[in-house]
Chains A and B, each alone.
Chain A
């Protein structure tokens, strides 16, 4: 049974560009959360999607947006990239009605 799958694993972008990261949740999970983990820091909550709607949002600017598809997979979009957006982006899936966070291995984004 596949866990949470994220793609790509690594990505290099230039300042000002836009990026899309993808996440496929674990089978049976319908909720997807995104976290940003800067180097040497703990993960910070970006937002959470359930039933194709954003349900919770952390303290991130509007440059960060997301989407959830009918098959529960999700995308994280970041516009107008800044050097400070360089981080490991973690996706976590869970069932909406109970605890069961499963984290993916992340996408390492480097902005140059």
Chain B
């Protein structure tokens, strides 16, 4: 079945890099996503990666995918206080309207 796992908490000093990790079990996962959820808000898509890619960079965000180990990571460079949020890893078998399977989320806390 589908399962997506993440560590629950991460604390990082302001200005350092944050690395949030995720593992998934579904070998049919084709697209992998990172979402951000701030208090009282819905989910905001940060970035996604197709399973035939190893890396994707978008400004301060870098996504690394190890398909063999089914491991996904999100690196946030120069972490700021505004990055405090819960970050969810998600997967789907197709793009478009396939249902998303989410991890439990990682709460990122920034230390001033």
Q: Is A74 engaged at the interface, CB distance under 8 Å to the other chain?
A: no
Binding site for A on B (CB under 8 A): 4, 40-45, 88, 90, 95-105
Inter-chain contact B42/A106, CB cutoff 8 Å: yes
Given contacts A43-B43, A103-B44, 18 further A-B contacts (CB under 8 A): A4-B42, A33-B97, A41-B104, A41-B105, A42-B102, A43-B100, A43-B102, A44-B102, A56-B97, A90-B42, A96-B96, A96-B97, A97-B96, A98-B95, A99-B95, A99-B97, A103-B42, A105-B40
From residue B72, how far is it (CB to closest CB) to chain A in Å?
Answer: 14
From residue A89, how far is it (CB to closest CB) to chain B in Å?
Answer: 11
* A24-62 interface code vs B (CB 8 A; 1 in, 0 out): 000000010101000011111100101000011010000
CA distance A92 to B33 in the complex (A): 15
Inter-chain contact B102/A98, CB cutoff 8 Å: no
CA distance A95 to B59 in the complex (A): 27
Known pairs A105-B40, A105-B41; A58 contacts B102 (CB<8 A): no
Q: How many A residues are at the interface, by size bracket?
A: 20 to 34
CA distance A96 to B96 in the complex (A): 7
Inter-chain contact A42/B99, CB cutoff 8 Å: no
Inter-chain contact B43/A90, CB cutoff 8 Å: yes
CA distance A42 to B100 in the complex (A): 11
Specify which of B40, B43, B97, B104 is in contact with A94 (CB 8 Å cutoff). B97
| CB-defined contacts of B4 to chain A, threshold 8 Å | 42
Inter-chain contact A40/B96, CB cutoff 8 Å: no
From residue B74, how far is it (CB to closest CB) to chain A in Å?
Answer: 15
Q: Is A104 engaged at the interface, CB distance under 8 Å to the other chain?
A: yes
Inter-chain contact B96/A105, CB cutoff 8 Å: no
Q: Which residue of A lies closest to B48 (CB)?
A: A99
CA distance A106 to B11 in the complex (A): 27
